[in-house]
Amino acid sequence: MKNNKIILFRICLLSFFFISCGHMDEENNRFVYPLEIGNRWVYSIEIIWTNFEPDSMEDEIDVPETSSALCEVIGIQILLDSVETVVLGTTERTDRYQYVSHHFYRETEEGLFILAYQNAGSPIIHPKSENKKRIHFKNKQFESIHQLSDFMQQALPEQRIVSDSLIYEDPPVQTLKYPLEPGSQWIYRYDFAPWRIDKTVIGKTTLNLDIGVFECFHIKWLYDWDQNGVWDEDLSIDDYIGKEGLLKRTVTFLNVGYVDFSGNMIGTFDSFMDYTLTELYY
């Protein structure tokens, strides 16, 4: 049964890209994500915790470790014998841990798609301890704010197709929809897979970073965790994407719980996690 499922997925994936693939028309100056081999992006990751309730909780909370991330286009890989993908490797580091993952992308005239992952999941998982306080959000507990952030960014379905150590998206998820235009909105994940996520282009903006000034698109992720048809107000991601790639990402969690080892609520806080481009090679 498992082999039949993988064979059916292979047929569906090949059909999807047979229909949608085509040469990108570079002459009309449309936006395409810069996925040339050798391109690299280095990000600082800053975590801000604020709005503690009660105020005394600020003295008890564990200060998040400083961290950084390196993303690099490392090559081309053929999946399922005939689908060409671009491999983006990511290495995230904290003071004590390092995590490496790979994403497999394909770009078409319709947009940028994620086909598969390797080592996808929670990047920074601290050793479990009976005495460790934990993060509580959306009725789930997490070892760290890094783990919560990655869980919400990946949003991997519970039912996954795994083959040759890769986790496949079925169907591929559309991370960007071309052409990028203010007001454009598309489905990133469907209901119950594992929950509804849309992305929408808020507009064009100018972003001032330490390494320069960039023209970019502001793209917001919209979540409907409980799938009631209303976008959640306590969770969002804001991406700033230019011709240079991802320039900045802000992951917002509001009213996050902090619990002790017995699950008792200590208090709540808001968390803002900023990935900011500090080095660019392309």
Look at residue 96 in the predicted model and tell me its pLDDT: 74
Q: Which residues fall within 8 angstroms of residue 164, CB to CB, at 6 or more apart?
A: none
Residue 246's closest CA among 207, 210, 273, 272? Answer: 207
Q: Tell me the per-residue pLDDT of 230-281, one tens digit each, with 9 for 90 and over.
A: 999 999 999 999 999 999 999 999 999 999 888 889 999 999 999 999 999 9
Q: Tell me the per-residue pLDDT of 194-211, one tens digit each, with 9 for 90 and over.
A: 899 999 999 999 999 999
Three-state secondary structure of 54-77: CHHHHHCCCCCCCEEEEEEEEEEE
**Antiparallel, parallel or unpaired: β 111-118 and 235-242:** unpaired
Distance between CA atoms of residues 174 and 184, nearest Å:
13
What tokens does 67 get? Answer: 């961290």
157: cis peptide before it, omega within 30°? no
Judge whether 175 and 241 are in contact, CB under 8 Å: no
* Low pLDDT (below 50) residues in the chain: 1-28, 122-131
* Single-letter residue type at 48: I
Residue with tokens 């993303």: 71
Residue with tokens 């690099």: 72
Q: Report how many domains make up the chain.
A: 1
pTM of the full structure:
0.86
Distance between CA atoms of residues 251 and 237, nearest Å:
5
Domain hosting residue 175, numbered range: 2-281
